[in-house]
Structure 1
Amino acid sequence: MSSANEGSTATPMRTGEEVPVDALRAWLSQALPALVPAGSALGVAQFPAGFSNLTYRVSVDDEHGARSYVLRRPPRGVTGGVAHDMAREYGILAALHPLGVPVPRPLVRCDDAAVIGAPFYLMEHVSGTIVRGTLPDEMHADREALPSRLRALSETVVNTMVQLHRVPVADGPLAALGRPDGYVRRQVEGWTKRWHAARTSDVPSLDRLVTWLDANQPSTSDVCLVHNDFKLDNLVLSPDLSQVRAILDWEMATIGDPLMDLGTTLAYWVGPHDNPIFRSLGLGVTAMTGAFSRDDVVQAYAVASKRDVGLVDFYMAFGFFKVAIIAQQIYARYQQGLTADARFASLGAVVEALGEQGARVAAERR
């Protein structure tokens, strides 16, 4: 699950997640004096729709005019882990931006948690549209054209993932990003450990899924750059939804099996007959008439990438498992009082629904 970012509406900071504005201004005026001169008026608002790392709009206003940047930091209660490593995420953006990959340009990072209470980094603000539970209002004006536009959007999402999987990773800074040998095995083992560490109640479907995934692991299909959280609302789109301006939220990116990326995308790709609670993740647009089905996504990816997707059911079942554990980790933090975000109160039911969906894929496609 991603953090909200460019294209979302920023709101006042949530209680317990405030950024100390004066301390941030003082640090930025030293680190980025050309962008944030001393004496600039600084405003901070929070992008509220995300579930993981916290994301803020930083607005600067001085004699040169008004402009905005984006700040990322880990959530409260998290003290480690790759997904919340700001230096790692910043380094990924710094490696990808010169390659022409559509990512926000990273500007500066701060490893000193004393400045605002956690490490953070600042990146450029990419303007555009982020599609979540609904389409922009203007897209509904021509209802007859809507299905074809949703199909085109689906094609854009799949083709963007295919292009991402073609980014060269044999040398340069990306080469050291992960260990592709044994990637599938480590993913199954790692997410199983996370499930046991974060569980707050029994979810039998997830336990059955753990057993099935462990017994049905395929060998690695290929090696490429894996985003690991590739989904519709991690894309900043042009207003007509025809182009991807930026791919967001790189905290889990690594070098690994591309079909693991596809499996995660399929888990987030809500279908019209899925449990309605999936819509609470804010990803209902893919269930609208005209959008690809999950089978359409698989077929389009296979054609564009020329990869064998015959074992896609394993990867999709794993995708549901992984997304369930991500939700469970967030739910556990909510249960511990580490966040007051009311959206997280219902994640326990989401975890159960995701586990049931993953177990169903495993049982039906065995």
Structure 2
Amino acid sequence: MHPMSDPSALTAAWTEKVLAWLPGVLPGDGPIELEPLVAGHSNLVFALRRGEDRYILRRPPMGEYAASAHDVLREARLLTVLADVGSTRTPRVVAIAETGDAAGIGPAYVMTRLPGEAIRTEAPPWLDSPEKRATVGRELVSALAELHALPIEPFEAAKLGRAGGYLSRQLKRWSGQRDEFVAKGVRPLADEPPIREWLFANQPEERASTLVHGDFKLDNVLVDPETSRVTCVLDWEMATIGDPLADLGFLLSFWPDSPETAAVFSELLGEVTLGEGFPDRAGLVEIYAELTQQKLTMDDLRWYQVLAMWKMALLLEASYTRHLAGTTDDPFFACLDTANPRLLAAALALTKSG
């Protein structure tokens, strides 16, 4: 592989530049430790340490990606607005490297690292009782309800979204991205066209606009092991203003509550939420309905679940295409050969369940 297309070589060269840039933008003095995190399969994420202070550095993946994807600078602007409106479960931006900066760092940004641990495909040792698992489930939904209650005007003013028309824009955007990849000769996905057709034909009336996270699921938050409280919501790159049920539908789609739902995408999800005490999907809806004082049923969320699964499949298929091109060395992407069609098959089945 040519060194300029080798993701490892590209990352190593970029890391050298970062280590020269960080001393001038981080508070304090002293040496800086930089360590890649094995979290996530999209943006590159690094843990930073300077003295007693902890930070996270994020940048897009090496290699080609859709122009509107992995916009970390937009995410940094959104985190800044979240701080301005008083959000307490989000990190604070410390430094930004713009696209095309002289140092060759951007696009990238550094944020504070809040306390807490991520829960991914395996349950941590401290999550050892039904009571703790129930608390984590309720806390997760509480964090979602909190962000949906934030005022949207500051986000509109910062050009981070606009009220109304979100669902139509989502269908147009993701359909367009898929069509661009198809035009380049990527592999066909037999279940994608009928899912798309169903989404367009059954689009619901949009709810009143709120801030939406766009990628809200268990492994995108940090949890305090002592209290089981959600301390931080992460990965805001897809956030905008829109229909809040899109977030709830996304959470349900990637919250296994039976061995069958866990098997849909076991490589990504694991079986953590099958543990005793965690609410099932219907239970999550009940908690959200209670906290937001509205009536909701699982049937109200079906369209939004299909939307979430379709979007995730299209996003991951783009990553799989980069894997085939050799512009990412993340071994996870190899599993998408079979996992992504399985996810789409489950989404198609859900369209026929009503």
TM-score (norm 1): 0.86
Amino acid of the structure 2 residue aligned with 1:197: E
Aligned length: 340
Q: Which residue is 2:74 aligned to?
A: 88
Give 1:74's aligned residue.
60
Query: Contact 2:121–2:270 at 8 Å: present in 1 too?
Result: yes
Secondary structure of 1:44's counterpart equals: strand
Aligned to 2:288: 301
Report the equivalent of 2:328.
339
- Find out whether 1:189 has 2:172 as its counterpart: yes
Residue 353 (str. 1) matches residue 342 (str. 2):
yes
1:172 to 1:17, Cα distance in 2 relative to 1, 3 A = closer
| Residue matched to 1:325 | 314
Give the AA of the match of 1:43: E
Provide the secondary structure at the position in 2 that maps to 1:103. Answer: coil
Alignment of 1:140-155 (within 5 A): 140=128, 146-155=129-138
Which range moved further: 222-231 or 277-286? 277-286
Q: How far apart are 1:300 and its partner, in Å?
A: 1.8
Corresponding residue for residue 111 of structure 1: 98
The 5 A counterparts of 1:1-366 are 16-18=10-12, 20-32=14-26, 34-35=27-28, 37=29, 40-60=30-50, 65-78=51-64, 81-101=67-87, 102-113=89-100, 115-140=103-128, 146-171=129-154, 176-198=159-181, 200-240=186-226, 242-272=228-258, 273-274=260-261, 276=263, 278-309=265-296, 311-365=300-354
Deviates more, 1:190-199 or 1:46-55: 190-199
The root-mean-square deviation of aligned C-alpha atoms, in Å, is 2.2
Letter in 1 for 2:124: P
Structure 1 residue ranges (4+ consecutive) displaced by more than 6 angstroms after TM superposition: none
Distance 2:231 2:293 in 1: 25
Q: What amino acid maps onto 2:41 in structure 1?
A: F
Whole-angstrom CA distance in 1 between matches of 2:292 and 2:13: 43
Determine the C-alpha separation between the residues in 2 that align with 1:152 and 1:209: 35
In structure 2, the residue corresponding to 1:100 is in which secondary structure? coil
**TM superposition score normalised by structure 2:** 0.88
| Structure 2 CA distance for aligned equivalents of residues 20 and 308 of structure 1 | 50
SS at match of 1:121: strand
Q: Which amino acid counterpart does residue 206 of structure 1 have in structure 2?
A: E
1:212 CA displacement? 0.4
Deviations 1:206-226 (A, max 9, x none): 221111001001121111000
The Cα of 1:241 is off from its aligned counterpart by 5.2
Give the AA of the match of 1:341: D
**Conserved 8 A contact 2:156-2:162:** no
- Matching residue's letter, 1:57: A
In structure 2, runs of 5+ residues without a counterpart are: 1-6
Partner residue of 1:7?
Answer: none
Q: How many percent identity over aligned positions?
A: 31
